[in-house]
Chain A
Amino acid sequence: MDLILPDLGLLFWTALVFCILLFLLAKFAWKPILSAVNAREQKITEALELAEKTRSEMQALQAENDKILKEARAERDNILKEAKESANQMIEAAKSKSKLEADKIVESARHTINSEKAAAMAELKTHVAALSLEIAEKVIRGELASDEKQKALADKLVGDINMN
Protein backbone atom coordinates (compact mmCIF):
# COMPACT_ATOMS: atom_id res chain seq x y z
CA MET A 1 0.00 0.00 0.00
CA ASP A 2 2.77 2.45 0.85
CA LEU A 3 3.93 1.99 -2.75
CA ILE A 4 1.14 4.31 -3.86
CA LEU A 5 1.14 6.68 -0.90
CA PRO A 6 3.24 9.83 -1.01
CA ASP A 7 5.97 10.08 1.59
CA LEU A 8 6.40 13.39 3.35
CA GLY A 9 10.20 13.30 3.63
CA LEU A 10 10.76 12.47 0.00
CA LEU A 11 8.15 15.05 -1.00
CA PHE A 12 10.03 17.68 0.96
CA TRP A 13 13.39 16.80 -0.58
CA THR A 14 11.92 16.50 -4.08
CA ALA A 15 10.27 19.89 -3.79
CA LEU A 16 13.41 21.48 -2.42
CA VAL A 17 15.75 19.94 -5.00
CA PHE A 18 13.40 20.53 -7.91
CA CYS A 19 12.81 24.17 -7.03
CA ILE A 20 16.53 24.83 -6.61
CA LEU A 21 17.19 22.96 -9.84
CA LEU A 22 14.53 24.92 -11.68
CA PHE A 23 15.88 28.21 -10.37
CA LEU A 24 19.53 27.44 -11.11
CA LEU A 25 18.86 25.97 -14.53
CA ALA A 26 16.50 28.74 -15.57
CA LYS A 27 18.93 31.42 -14.52
CA PHE A 28 22.31 29.95 -15.39
CA ALA A 29 21.64 27.30 -18.03
CA TRP A 30 18.45 27.70 -20.03
CA LYS A 31 18.79 31.46 -20.38
CA PRO A 32 22.31 31.49 -21.87
CA ILE A 33 21.70 28.32 -23.89
CA LEU A 34 18.41 29.49 -25.38
CA SER A 35 19.67 32.99 -26.04
CA ALA A 36 22.77 31.59 -27.75
CA VAL A 37 20.66 29.21 -29.80
CA ASN A 38 18.24 32.01 -30.69
CA ALA A 39 21.10 34.32 -31.59
CA ARG A 40 22.57 31.64 -33.79
CA GLU A 41 19.25 30.94 -35.45
CA GLN A 42 18.85 34.66 -36.03
CA LYS A 43 22.34 34.79 -37.49
CA ILE A 44 21.68 31.86 -39.78
CA THR A 45 18.36 33.31 -40.91
CA GLU A 46 19.99 36.63 -41.60
CA ALA A 47 22.86 34.99 -43.43
CA LEU A 48 20.43 33.00 -45.55
CA GLU A 49 18.39 36.08 -46.29
CA LEU A 50 21.54 37.97 -47.18
CA ALA A 51 22.65 35.15 -49.45
CA GLU A 52 19.25 35.11 -51.11
CA LYS A 53 19.33 38.86 -51.51
CA THR A 54 22.86 38.80 -52.86
CA ARG A 55 21.90 36.10 -55.30
CA SER A 56 18.91 38.03 -56.58
CA GLU A 57 21.10 41.10 -56.79
CA MET A 58 23.68 39.11 -58.70
CA GLN A 59 20.95 37.88 -60.99
CA ALA A 60 19.72 41.41 -61.54
CA LEU A 61 23.27 42.49 -62.19
CA GLN A 62 23.77 39.65 -64.61
CA ALA A 63 20.55 40.54 -66.38
CA GLU A 64 21.65 44.15 -66.51
CA ASN A 65 25.01 43.09 -67.90
CA ASP A 66 23.36 40.91 -70.48
CA LYS A 67 21.06 43.75 -71.45
CA ILE A 68 23.96 46.16 -71.77
CA LEU A 69 25.92 43.64 -73.75
CA LYS A 70 22.98 43.02 -76.02
CA GLU A 71 22.47 46.72 -76.50
CA ALA A 72 26.15 47.22 -77.18
CA ARG A 73 26.08 44.42 -79.69
CA ALA A 74 23.02 45.88 -81.39
CA GLU A 75 24.65 49.28 -81.45
CA ARG A 76 27.80 47.83 -82.88
CA ASP A 77 25.80 46.04 -85.54
CA ASN A 78 23.98 49.26 -86.25
CA ILE A 79 27.19 51.22 -86.51
CA LEU A 80 28.73 48.62 -88.73
CA LYS A 81 25.68 48.62 -90.94
CA GLU A 82 25.64 52.36 -91.13
CA ALA A 83 29.34 52.46 -91.86
CA LYS A 84 28.93 49.91 -94.56
CA GLU A 85 26.05 51.83 -96.01
CA SER A 86 27.85 55.11 -95.94
CA ALA A 87 30.93 53.47 -97.39
CA ASN A 88 28.83 52.02 -100.16
CA GLN A 89 27.22 55.34 -100.66
CA MET A 90 30.57 57.02 -100.83
CA ILE A 91 31.83 54.44 -103.27
CA GLU A 92 28.68 54.83 -105.32
CA ALA A 93 29.02 58.58 -105.29
CA ALA A 94 32.66 58.41 -106.13
CA LYS A 95 31.93 55.95 -108.86
CA SER A 96 29.21 58.06 -110.40
CA LYS A 97 31.24 61.17 -109.99
CA SER A 98 34.27 59.60 -111.59
CA LYS A 99 32.12 58.25 -114.39
CA LEU A 100 30.69 61.64 -114.95
CA GLU A 101 34.15 63.07 -114.89
CA ALA A 102 35.38 60.44 -117.29
CA ASP A 103 32.43 61.00 -119.56
CA LYS A 104 33.12 64.66 -119.46
CA ILE A 105 36.78 64.07 -120.23
CA VAL A 106 35.89 61.70 -123.03
CA GLU A 107 33.34 64.19 -124.31
CA SER A 108 35.73 67.02 -124.24
CA ALA A 109 38.40 64.82 -125.78
CA ARG A 110 36.01 63.92 -128.52
CA HIS A 111 35.15 67.51 -128.97
CA THR A 112 38.76 68.47 -129.17
CA ILE A 113 39.46 65.67 -131.56
CA ASN A 114 36.57 66.76 -133.75
CA SER A 115 37.59 70.34 -133.73
CA GLU A 116 41.19 69.36 -134.30
CA LYS A 117 40.04 67.11 -137.06
CA ALA A 118 37.99 69.88 -138.63
CA ALA A 119 40.89 72.25 -138.30
CA ALA A 120 43.19 69.65 -139.79
CA MET A 121 40.76 69.04 -142.60
CA ALA A 122 40.45 72.72 -143.27
CA GLU A 123 44.18 73.07 -143.22
CA LEU A 124 44.55 70.03 -145.40
CA LYS A 125 42.01 71.46 -147.84
CA THR A 126 43.93 74.68 -148.05
CA HIS A 127 47.15 72.72 -148.45
CA VAL A 128 45.59 70.55 -151.10
CA ALA A 129 44.15 73.57 -152.84
CA ALA A 130 47.49 75.28 -152.71
CA LEU A 131 49.25 72.16 -153.88
CA SER A 132 46.69 71.66 -156.62
CA LEU A 133 47.18 75.23 -157.76
CA GLU A 134 50.94 74.76 -157.65
CA ILE A 135 50.67 71.52 -159.55
CA ALA A 136 48.25 73.05 -161.99
CA GLU A 137 50.55 76.02 -162.40
CA LYS A 138 53.46 73.71 -162.93
CA VAL A 139 51.50 71.52 -165.31
CA ILE A 140 50.11 74.45 -167.15
CA ARG A 141 53.57 75.98 -167.24
CA GLY A 142 54.87 72.68 -168.69
CA GLU A 143 52.05 72.45 -171.15
CA LEU A 144 52.54 76.00 -172.22
CA ALA A 145 56.30 75.81 -172.41
CA SER A 146 56.33 75.13 -176.11
CA ASP A 147 54.10 76.22 -178.90
CA GLU A 148 53.21 72.76 -179.99
CA LYS A 149 52.11 71.92 -176.59
CA GLN A 150 50.05 75.06 -176.33
CA LYS A 151 48.50 74.20 -179.65
CA ALA A 152 47.84 70.61 -178.70
CA LEU A 153 46.17 71.81 -175.54
CA ALA A 154 44.15 74.26 -177.30
CA ASP A 155 43.17 71.58 -179.71
CA LYS A 156 42.22 69.28 -177.08
CA LEU A 157 40.20 71.88 -175.24
CA VAL A 158 38.59 72.74 -178.48
CA GLY A 159 37.89 69.11 -179.09
CA ASP A 160 36.20 68.84 -175.65
CA ILE A 161 34.14 71.85 -176.29
CA ASN A 162 33.10 70.46 -179.59
CA MET A 163 31.90 67.32 -178.09
CA ASN A 164 29.52 69.18 -175.96
Chain B
Amino acid sequence: MTLSNLFKSFLLVILTSLSFNAVFANEGHKEEKEFNVGEMIMHHIKDAHEWHLFGPEHGGTSIYLPVILVDGGLKTFSSSNFYHGEKDSVLAENSKDYIHYMRGTGPAEGYALFHEKIYKTEEGKLHFEDGHPHNAKPLDFSITKNVLSLFFGAILILVIMFSIAGFYKKNGAVAPKGIAKFLEPIIIMVRDDIAKANIDKHKYKKYVPYLLTIFFFIWLNNMLGLVPFLPGGANLTGNITVTFFLACCTLIVTLFSANGNYWKHIFATPGVPIPLLVIMIPIEIVGIFTKPFALMVRLFANITAGHIIILALISIIFINKNVAWGGLSVPMALFISVLELLVAFLQAFLFSMLSALFIGAAVEEAHH
Protein backbone atom coordinates (compact mmCIF):
# COMPACT_ATOMS: atom_id res chain seq x y z
CA MET B 1 0.00 0.00 0.00
CA THR B 2 1.43 3.33 -0.97
CA LEU B 3 1.59 6.34 1.26
CA SER B 4 -0.96 8.28 -0.74
CA ASN B 5 -3.42 5.39 -0.50
CA LEU B 6 -2.89 5.34 3.22
CA PHE B 7 -3.54 9.03 3.41
CA LYS B 8 -6.76 8.66 1.44
CA SER B 9 -7.99 5.95 3.73
CA PHE B 10 -7.26 8.12 6.77
CA LEU B 11 -9.24 10.94 5.29
CA LEU B 12 -12.11 8.61 4.54
CA VAL B 13 -12.14 7.22 8.05
CA ILE B 14 -12.04 10.64 9.59
CA LEU B 15 -14.76 12.01 7.35
CA THR B 16 -17.15 9.13 7.95
CA SER B 17 -16.61 9.21 11.68
CA LEU B 18 -17.14 12.94 11.95
CA SER B 19 -19.71 13.88 9.37
CA PHE B 20 -22.68 12.78 11.47
CA ASN B 21 -21.78 15.35 14.01
CA ALA B 22 -20.42 18.12 11.89
CA VAL B 23 -22.67 21.01 12.61
CA PHE B 24 -21.19 24.24 11.53
CA ALA B 25 -22.32 27.26 13.33
CA ASN B 26 -21.65 30.80 12.47
CA GLU B 27 -23.32 33.00 14.92
CA GLY B 28 -22.64 36.63 15.10
CA HIS B 29 -20.52 37.46 18.06
CA LYS B 30 -20.25 41.09 18.72
CA GLU B 31 -18.88 41.08 22.20
CA GLU B 32 -15.23 42.16 22.20
CA LYS B 33 -13.38 40.59 25.06
CA GLU B 34 -9.95 41.35 26.32
CA PHE B 35 -7.57 38.70 24.93
CA ASN B 36 -6.53 36.49 27.82
CA VAL B 37 -3.46 34.44 26.91
CA GLY B 38 -3.56 32.22 29.97
CA GLU B 39 -7.21 31.39 29.48
CA MET B 40 -6.73 30.66 25.78
CA ILE B 41 -3.75 28.40 26.40
CA MET B 42 -5.40 26.51 29.22
CA HIS B 43 -8.47 26.08 27.07
CA HIS B 44 -6.32 24.61 24.26
CA ILE B 45 -4.35 22.16 26.32
CA LYS B 46 -7.40 20.83 28.12
CA ASP B 47 -10.00 18.47 26.83
CA ALA B 48 -13.17 19.78 25.21
CA HIS B 49 -16.56 18.59 24.07
CA GLU B 50 -16.24 20.40 20.76
CA TRP B 51 -13.50 20.44 18.17
CA HIS B 52 -12.96 24.07 17.42
CA LEU B 53 -11.91 24.56 13.82
CA PHE B 54 -11.76 28.30 13.25
CA GLY B 55 -13.55 31.54 14.03
CA PRO B 56 -14.09 33.12 17.43
CA GLU B 57 -14.09 31.02 20.56
CA HIS B 58 -17.85 31.15 20.91
CA GLY B 59 -19.80 30.95 17.72
CA GLY B 60 -16.90 29.96 15.51
CA THR B 61 -16.90 26.87 13.35
CA SER B 62 -16.70 23.79 15.50
CA ILE B 63 -17.44 20.11 15.31
CA TYR B 64 -19.76 19.25 18.16
CA LEU B 65 -18.83 15.93 19.67
CA PRO B 66 -21.28 13.47 21.20
CA VAL B 67 -21.86 13.62 24.93
CA ILE B 68 -22.37 10.28 26.67
CA LEU B 69 -23.49 10.44 30.28
CA VAL B 70 -24.19 7.66 32.73
CA ASP B 71 -26.66 9.19 35.15
CA GLY B 72 -29.48 6.85 35.97
CA GLY B 73 -29.19 5.32 32.51
CA LEU B 74 -27.25 6.13 29.39
CA LYS B 75 -27.84 9.57 27.95
CA THR B 76 -26.37 10.64 24.63
CA PHE B 77 -26.74 13.92 22.84
CA SER B 78 -24.69 16.39 20.86
CA SER B 79 -22.57 18.88 22.73
CA SER B 80 -24.14 21.60 20.61
CA ASN B 81 -26.94 21.42 23.16
CA PHE B 82 -24.50 23.06 25.54
CA TYR B 83 -22.65 25.35 23.20
CA HIS B 84 -25.91 26.52 21.66
CA GLY B 85 -27.77 26.32 24.92
CA GLU B 86 -28.48 29.08 27.36
CA LYS B 87 -25.56 31.08 28.56
CA ASP B 88 -25.69 31.91 32.21
CA SER B 89 -23.39 33.76 34.50
CA VAL B 90 -23.14 34.33 38.20
CA LEU B 91 -21.22 36.92 40.06
CA ALA B 92 -18.14 35.50 41.70
CA GLU B 93 -18.05 35.86 45.45
CA ASN B 94 -14.82 37.75 45.99
CA SER B 95 -14.53 39.71 42.79
CA LYS B 96 -16.46 41.77 40.37
CA ASP B 97 -16.02 39.24 37.57
CA TYR B 98 -18.78 37.08 36.27
CA ILE B 99 -18.41 33.34 36.01
CA HIS B 100 -19.86 32.12 32.73
CA TYR B 101 -21.29 28.67 32.18
CA MET B 102 -23.59 27.08 29.66
CA ARG B 103 -26.85 25.44 30.51
CA GLY B 104 -27.91 22.60 28.30
CA THR B 105 -31.12 22.68 26.33
CA GLY B 106 -33.18 19.97 24.68
CA PRO B 107 -31.75 16.54 25.55
CA ALA B 108 -29.12 18.23 27.69
CA GLU B 109 -31.75 19.71 29.95
CA GLY B 110 -30.72 19.43 33.57
CA TYR B 111 -26.99 19.64 32.85
CA ALA B 112 -24.62 22.53 32.55
CA LEU B 113 -21.14 22.89 31.09
CA PHE B 114 -18.55 24.85 33.00
CA HIS B 115 -14.93 24.80 31.90
CA GLU B 116 -15.68 21.75 29.73
CA LYS B 117 -16.96 19.80 32.73
CA ILE B 118 -20.54 18.65 32.88
CA TYR B 119 -22.52 19.24 36.09
CA LYS B 120 -26.05 18.49 37.10
CA THR B 121 -28.01 21.67 37.63
CA GLU B 122 -30.02 22.28 40.75
CA GLU B 123 -33.12 24.26 40.05
CA GLY B 124 -31.62 25.10 36.69
CA LYS B 125 -28.50 26.67 38.20
CA LEU B 126 -24.95 25.92 39.19
CA HIS B 127 -23.91 26.89 42.69
CA PHE B 128 -20.41 28.25 42.99
CA GLU B 129 -18.13 28.39 45.94
CA ASP B 130 -14.57 29.76 45.54
CA GLY B 131 -15.13 29.83 41.80
CA HIS B 132 -15.91 26.11 41.62
CA PRO B 133 -19.34 24.62 41.17
CA HIS B 134 -20.60 22.47 44.00
CA ASN B 135 -23.09 20.59 41.94
CA ALA B 136 -22.96 16.83 41.46
CA LYS B 137 -21.29 15.49 38.34
CA PRO B 138 -22.72 12.69 36.19
CA LEU B 139 -20.32 10.01 34.93
CA ASP B 140 -19.06 11.51 31.71
CA PHE B 141 -18.02 9.04 29.01
CA SER B 142 -18.30 11.59 26.22
CA ILE B 143 -16.38 11.33 22.99
CA THR B 144 -14.33 14.42 23.74
CA LYS B 145 -11.68 16.01 21.60
CA ASN B 146 -9.03 13.82 23.20
CA VAL B 147 -11.09 10.67 22.80
CA LEU B 148 -11.64 11.40 19.13
CA SER B 149 -7.95 12.12 18.71
CA LEU B 150 -7.24 8.85 20.52
CA PHE B 151 -9.47 6.96 18.09
CA PHE B 152 -7.81 8.61 15.15
CA GLY B 153 -4.32 7.89 16.47
CA ALA B 154 -5.20 4.27 17.15
CA ILE B 155 -6.67 3.82 13.67
CA LEU B 156 -3.63 5.49 12.15
CA ILE B 157 -1.28 3.11 13.97
CA LEU B 158 -3.40 0.12 13.00
CA VAL B 159 -3.50 1.13 9.33
CA ILE B 160 0.25 1.75 9.19
CA MET B 161 1.26 -1.37 11.08
CA PHE B 162 -1.22 -3.62 9.29
CA SER B 163 0.08 -2.39 5.96
CA ILE B 164 3.63 -3.22 7.07
CA ALA B 165 2.52 -6.62 8.36
CA GLY B 166 0.72 -7.15 5.05
CA PHE B 167 3.88 -6.32 3.17
CA TYR B 168 5.83 -8.98 5.05
CA LYS B 169 3.02 -11.51 4.76
CA LYS B 170 2.90 -11.00 1.02
CA ASN B 171 6.62 -10.83 0.31
CA GLY B 172 8.10 -12.98 3.06
CA ALA B 173 11.45 -12.19 4.58
CA VAL B 174 12.71 -9.73 2.01
CA ALA B 175 14.26 -6.27 2.14
CA PRO B 176 11.52 -3.81 3.17
CA LYS B 177 10.00 -1.28 0.79
CA GLY B 178 7.87 1.84 1.21
CA ILE B 179 6.59 2.57 4.69
CA ALA B 180 8.01 -0.71 5.98
CA LYS B 181 11.44 0.52 4.96
CA PHE B 182 10.94 3.67 7.01
CA LEU B 183 9.49 2.10 10.14
CA GLU B 184 11.38 -1.17 10.25
CA PRO B 185 14.56 0.39 11.66
CA ILE B 186 12.46 1.98 14.40
CA ILE B 187 10.74 -1.32 15.20
CA ILE B 188 14.16 -2.95 15.34
CA MET B 189 15.45 -0.11 17.50
CA VAL B 190 12.64 -0.76 20.00
CA ARG B 191 13.37 -4.48 19.91
CA ASP B 192 17.14 -4.24 20.18
CA ASP B 193 18.00 -0.96 21.90
CA ILE B 194 15.01 -0.75 24.22
CA ALA B 195 13.86 -4.31 24.95
CA LYS B 196 16.95 -6.43 24.42
CA ALA B 197 19.30 -3.88 25.97
CA ASN B 198 17.38 -3.64 29.25
CA ILE B 199 15.67 -6.98 29.74
CA ASP B 200 17.30 -10.36 30.19
CA LYS B 201 17.93 -11.75 26.73
CA HIS B 202 15.99 -14.92 27.43
CA LYS B 203 12.91 -13.05 28.58
CA TYR B 204 12.74 -9.86 26.54
CA LYS B 205 10.70 -11.31 23.67
CA LYS B 206 7.53 -11.42 25.74
CA TYR B 207 7.66 -7.65 26.34
CA VAL B 208 8.51 -6.46 22.83
CA PRO B 209 4.85 -6.19 21.68
CA TYR B 210 3.96 -4.08 24.72
CA LEU B 211 6.99 -1.83 24.31
CA LEU B 212 6.37 -1.43 20.58
CA THR B 213 2.72 -0.55 21.16
CA ILE B 214 3.52 1.96 23.88
CA PHE B 215 6.31 3.51 21.81
CA PHE B 216 4.30 3.99 18.65
CA PHE B 217 1.19 5.04 20.58
CA ILE B 218 3.07 7.83 22.33
CA TRP B 219 5.17 8.86 19.36
CA LEU B 220 2.30 9.07 16.90
CA ASN B 221 -0.02 10.85 19.32
CA ASN B 222 2.76 13.27 20.26
CA MET B 223 3.18 14.15 16.61
CA LEU B 224 -0.56 14.37 15.98
CA GLY B 225 -0.70 16.87 18.83
CA LEU B 226 1.73 19.09 16.94
CA VAL B 227 -0.51 19.28 13.88
CA PRO B 228 -2.42 22.50 14.47
CA PHE B 229 -5.60 21.51 12.61
CA LEU B 230 -7.94 18.54 12.34
CA PRO B 231 -7.21 15.67 13.00
CA GLY B 232 -4.35 16.88 15.16
CA GLY B 233 -4.05 19.54 17.76
CA ALA B 234 -5.54 17.67 20.70
CA ASN B 235 -3.23 17.55 23.67
CA LEU B 236 -3.72 13.83 24.14
CA THR B 237 -0.31 12.67 25.36
CA GLY B 238 -0.09 15.88 27.38
CA ASN B 239 -3.21 14.86 29.26
CA ILE B 240 -2.57 13.51 32.73
CA THR B 241 -5.26 10.85 32.33
CA VAL B 242 -3.53 9.29 29.33
CA THR B 243 -0.06 9.39 30.86
CA PHE B 244 -1.56 8.08 34.10
CA PHE B 245 -3.02 5.13 32.27
CA LEU B 246 0.20 4.40 30.37
CA ALA B 247 2.26 4.60 33.58
CA CYS B 248 -0.25 2.27 35.25
CA CYS B 249 0.23 -0.20 32.40
CA THR B 250 3.97 -0.19 32.95
CA LEU B 251 3.46 -0.57 36.70
CA ILE B 252 1.10 -3.51 36.19
CA VAL B 253 3.41 -5.20 33.67
CA THR B 254 6.35 -4.68 36.05
CA LEU B 255 4.54 -6.03 39.10
CA PHE B 256 3.08 -9.03 37.30
CA SER B 257 6.39 -10.04 35.79
CA ALA B 258 8.42 -9.42 38.94
CA ASN B 259 10.20 -12.48 40.26
CA GLY B 260 11.23 -13.50 43.75
CA ASN B 261 14.52 -11.70 43.43
CA TYR B 262 12.69 -8.40 42.87
CA TRP B 263 10.49 -8.81 45.94
CA LYS B 264 13.46 -9.95 47.96
CA HIS B 265 15.24 -6.72 47.11
CA ILE B 266 12.24 -4.77 48.34
CA PHE B 267 11.39 -6.64 51.55
CA ALA B 268 14.80 -7.99 52.48
CA THR B 269 17.43 -6.01 50.65
CA PRO B 270 20.54 -8.18 50.75
CA GLY B 271 23.38 -6.78 52.81
CA VAL B 272 21.18 -4.44 54.85
CA PRO B 273 21.08 -4.96 58.63
CA ILE B 274 17.69 -6.05 59.98
CA PRO B 275 16.99 -2.84 62.01
CA LEU B 276 17.56 -0.73 58.91
CA LEU B 277 14.88 -2.67 57.05
CA VAL B 278 12.31 -0.72 59.07
CA ILE B 279 13.35 2.29 57.05
CA MET B 280 14.26 0.49 53.85
CA ILE B 281 11.00 -1.37 53.27
CA PRO B 282 8.77 1.74 53.18
CA ILE B 283 11.31 3.48 50.96
CA GLU B 284 11.41 0.55 48.55
CA ILE B 285 7.63 0.31 48.49
CA VAL B 286 7.35 4.01 47.71
CA GLY B 287 10.02 3.41 45.07
CA ILE B 288 7.72 0.97 43.26
CA PHE B 289 5.26 3.81 42.70
CA THR B 290 7.59 6.76 42.18
CA LYS B 291 9.02 5.18 39.03
CA PRO B 292 5.74 5.06 37.07
CA PHE B 293 4.74 8.35 38.70
CA ALA B 294 7.84 9.94 37.19
CA LEU B 295 6.91 8.40 33.84
CA MET B 296 3.45 9.91 34.08
CA VAL B 297 4.63 13.38 35.02
CA ARG B 298 7.51 13.45 32.54
CA LEU B 299 5.38 12.73 29.50
CA PHE B 300 2.53 14.98 30.66
CA ALA B 301 4.79 17.90 31.48
CA ASN B 302 6.95 17.67 28.37
CA ILE B 303 4.11 17.52 25.90
CA THR B 304 1.95 20.08 27.67
CA ALA B 305 4.91 22.44 27.98
CA GLY B 306 5.54 22.12 24.25
CA HIS B 307 1.95 23.07 23.47
CA ILE B 308 2.05 25.96 25.91
CA ILE B 309 5.29 27.37 24.45
CA ILE B 310 4.03 27.27 20.87
CA LEU B 311 0.71 28.84 21.83
CA ALA B 312 2.43 31.49 23.93
CA LEU B 313 4.76 32.39 21.07
CA ILE B 314 1.86 32.68 18.63
CA SER B 315 0.00 34.77 21.22
CA ILE B 316 2.69 37.44 21.00
CA ILE B 317 0.96 38.62 17.83
CA PHE B 318 -2.42 38.89 19.54
CA ILE B 319 -1.14 40.49 22.71
CA ASN B 320 0.52 43.25 20.71
CA LYS B 321 -2.35 43.33 18.20
CA ASN B 322 0.12 43.80 15.39
CA VAL B 323 0.78 41.29 12.63
CA ALA B 324 4.39 42.52 12.33
CA TRP B 325 5.15 40.64 15.53
CA GLY B 326 4.70 37.52 13.40
CA GLY B 327 8.21 38.20 12.18
CA LEU B 328 9.38 37.30 15.66
CA SER B 329 6.80 34.83 16.83
CA VAL B 330 6.56 32.69 13.68
CA PRO B 331 10.27 31.82 13.43
CA MET B 332 10.37 31.14 17.16
CA ALA B 333 7.26 28.98 17.02
CA LEU B 334 8.71 27.19 14.02
CA PHE B 335 11.90 26.53 15.91
CA ILE B 336 10.00 25.21 18.92
CA SER B 337 7.80 23.10 16.65
CA VAL B 338 10.85 21.43 15.15
CA LEU B 339 12.21 20.94 18.64
CA GLU B 340 8.89 19.44 19.64
CA LEU B 341 9.20 16.92 16.81
CA LEU B 342 12.39 15.79 18.46
CA VAL B 343 10.74 15.84 21.88
CA ALA B 344 7.85 13.78 20.49
CA PHE B 345 10.26 11.04 19.54
CA LEU B 346 12.44 11.46 22.60
CA GLN B 347 9.56 11.20 25.07
CA ALA B 348 8.18 8.11 23.35
CA PHE B 349 11.68 6.64 23.42
CA LEU B 350 12.20 7.57 27.07
CA PHE B 351 8.86 6.22 28.18
CA SER B 352 9.38 2.85 26.53
CA MET B 353 13.06 2.80 27.48
CA LEU B 354 12.31 3.38 31.16
CA SER B 355 9.43 0.91 31.04
CA ALA B 356 11.85 -1.66 29.66
CA LEU B 357 14.34 -0.73 32.37
CA PHE B 358 11.76 -1.25 35.13
CA ILE B 359 10.60 -4.53 33.62
CA GLY B 360 14.21 -5.58 33.20
CA ALA B 361 14.89 -4.87 36.87
CA ALA B 362 11.81 -6.85 37.85
CA VAL B 363 12.73 -9.98 35.90
CA GLU B 364 16.45 -9.85 36.64
CA GLU B 365 17.88 -12.98 38.21
CA ALA B 366 20.02 -12.76 41.34
CA HIS B 367 23.72 -12.63 40.58
CA HIS B 368 25.40 -12.28 43.93
- Interface pair B168/A10, CB less than 8 Å apart: no
* Chain A contact patch, size range: 35 or more
Residue of B nearest to A7 (CB): B241
Q: Which one, B82-90, B242-250, B312-320, B340-348, is touching chain A?
A: B242-250
Chain B residue contacts of A28, Cβ below 8 A: 162, 165
> Known contacts A4-B240, A17-B151: does B47 contact A34 (CB below 8 Å)?
no
Residue of A nearest to B137 (CB): A8
Chain A nearest CB: distance from B293 CB in Å? 12
Chain A nearest CB: distance from B163 CB in Å? 9
In this complex, which of A4, A20, A31 has the most chain B Cβ atoms within 10 angstroms of its Cβ?
A4
Q: Which B164-208 residues have C-beta < 8 A from chain A?
A: 164-165, 168-169, 172-175, 184, 187-188, 191, 208
- Interface pair B188/A37, CB less than 8 Å apart: yes
Q: How far is the CA of A34 from the CA of B204 in the complex (A)?
A: 13
Set B147, B151, B175, B304: member contacting A10, Cβ < 8 A:
B147
Residue of B nearest to A22 (CB): B213
* Chain B contact patch, size range: 35 or more
A contacts with B: majority SS: helix
- Interface pair A6/B244, CB less than 8 Å apart: yes
- Interface pair A34/B147, CB less than 8 Å apart: no
B contacts with A: majority SS: helix
- Interface pair B144/A3, CB less than 8 Å apart: no
Residue A24 at the chain B interface, CB threshold 8 Å: yes
Against B, the Cβ 8 Å flags (1 = close, 0 = not) of A125-159 are 00000000000000000000000000000000000
Q: How far is the CA of A21 from the CA of B159 in the complex (A)?
A: 11
Set A13, A18, A29, A39: member contacting B173, Cβ < 8 A:
A39
Extra pairs beyond A30-B209, A33-B164 (9, CB < 8 Å): A3-B45, A8-B139, A10-B241, A11-B244, A18-B213, A22-B209, A25-B158, A25-B161, A33-B187
Mark B residues whose CB is within 8 Å of A: 42, 45-47, 68, 115, 117, 139-144, 146-147, 150-151, 154, 157-158, 161-162, 164-165, 168-169, 172-175, 184, 187-188, 191, 208-210, 212-213, 216-217, 239-242, 244-246, 249, 300, 304
